Amino acid sequence: MKQVKTLLAAAAIAVLGSSAYAADTIKIGEINHYKRLAAFAEPYKKGVELALSEINSSGGVLGKDLEFIFRDDQGKPGEAVKIAEELMTRDGAVMLTGTILSNVGLAISSFAAEKGYIYLAAEPLADALVWTSGNPYTFRLRASTWVQAAMLAEEAAKTDAIRYATIAPNYAYGTAAVEAFKVNLKQRKPEVEFVTEQWPALFKIDAGSEVQAIESAKPDAIYNVTFGPDLAKFVREGTTRGVFEGRKVYGLLTGEPEYLEPLKDEAPEGWFVTGYPWYGFTAGPEKKFVDAYIAEFPGETPKIGSLVGYMTAKSIATLITDAGSTETDALLAAFKDLKVDTPMGEITYRALDHQSTMGAYVGTTALEDGKGVMVDWSYKDPAAYMPSDDEVKAMRPAN
């Protein structure tokens, strides 16, 4: 009887072991601001989930399902670093990804370099991530702040506006976005001058004071980098006081559905912006993604966060497949000049600086059926707007 029990126990262990092995997954540590920036982070998560559904239903990666472990850092750099360590050492993640806010992304990037963890910065837009603070372990998906600002500056240079006002949140992304616009615009039109710069604290804008300061400076045009609730307050106050009347306005991110749709019929008209006009796609991989997203999440429409999340998961699946391994050294080698098929076409993660070649959509804001949209939009490849290879090499630290 004892021998029988022993055999049964052994058989049970074998079955459990087999089941555990069969259920094994390749884990990715995903850190984001799900409560603090839910308008972006939740669509982003859904985009990841859509990609994972497609990837895993087609056999997964290296014969295993790809799994994202989602963790909320509350938008705090210190909390994000703590979570990153837990994901890698306790939860078995093979690499890190995620984040929206640039200060959080920079903190994780520094930590990843220190520990030798690979980090794909999905959304953070501060160019220091891949340039002045770049390191061998950090890669970035989103089109750089420099590139998107240069696209707006190109359009601004075509006008007769000389005097510019700027408004941007006072943190890494905002300061980089203003500097990029100023440098690119002055290169194209040296006579321009910046007559006032407003720096509200992130999500703590005093819109009345900011608008009054801009109006007092009498600019010909305005460059706006506010987003989320700050954008809503700025648009409402600026419209009420007439500060946008007769002035060109250029908005970084303003055309993204996360920020434009909540404005409803208060959305500004005639601003030249970067964004995501998903409602304008009629064919190709862009339309295929939109249709798949709406089918997967009935009653919802995609946001730029949805696209970024989807492309993040697809990038990681392609990376691991090409590497043929989840070992860090193999992943690092595969990441350089990695090519990924996406709804925006094929992108490449440049070996030069670990920046992807994801481009951006630009267009003009308008009201249609009581809501803000982008019209006369186009997709722009980032190649024409990037600094030269020599300039990038000079910015990146020697590693």
Instruction: State pLDDT tens for residues 269-279.
Output: 999 999 999 99
Task: Identify the pLDDT of residue 10.
Answer: 43
Instruction: State pLDDT tens for residues 311-324.
Output: 999 999 999 999 99
Give me the CATH code for the 146-279+360-385 domain, please. Answer: 3.40.50.2300
Mean residue pLDDT of the chain comes to 93
Report how far apart, in Å, the C-alpha atoms of 176 and of each of 5, 105, 172 are.
68, 14, 6
Q: Which CATH superfamily is domain 12-144+283-359 in?
A: Response regulator (3.40.50.2300)
Task: Identify the pLDDT of residue 398.
Answer: 79
Task: Identify the pLDDT of residue 240.
Answer: 97
Task: Identify the pLDDT of residue 6.
Answer: 41
Instruction: State pLDDT tens for residues 89-110.
Output: 999 999 999 999 999 999 999 9
Task: Identify the pLDDT of residue 172.
Answer: 85
- Return the domain boundaries, the chain: 12-144+283-359, 146-279+360-385
Instruction: State pLDDT tens for residues 212-254.
Output: 999 999 999 999 999 999 999 999 999 999 999 999 999 999 9
State the first-to-last Cα distance of the chain, in angstroms, to the nearest integer.
Answer: 65
Strand partners for 197: 166
- Percentage, residues of the chain above pLDDT 90: 91
pLDDT tier at 342 (50, 70, 90 boundaries)?
very high
Sheet harboring 360-368: ordered strands across? Answer: 193-198, 163-167, 221-224, 248-255, 272-275, 360-368, 371-380
Take residue 167 and report the two structure tokens written for it: 């408004």
Measured distance CA(142)–CA(170) in Å, rounded: 21
Q: Do domains 12-144+283-359 and 146-279+360-385 have the same CATH topology?
A: yes
Task: Identify the pLDDT of residue 4.
Answer: 41
> Is the per-residue pLDDT at 162 higher than 60?
yes
> Is the per-residue pLDDT at 121 higher than 50?
yes
Instruction: State pLDDT tens for residues 6-54.
Output: 444 444 434 444 333 334 999 999 999 999 889 889 999 999 999 999 9
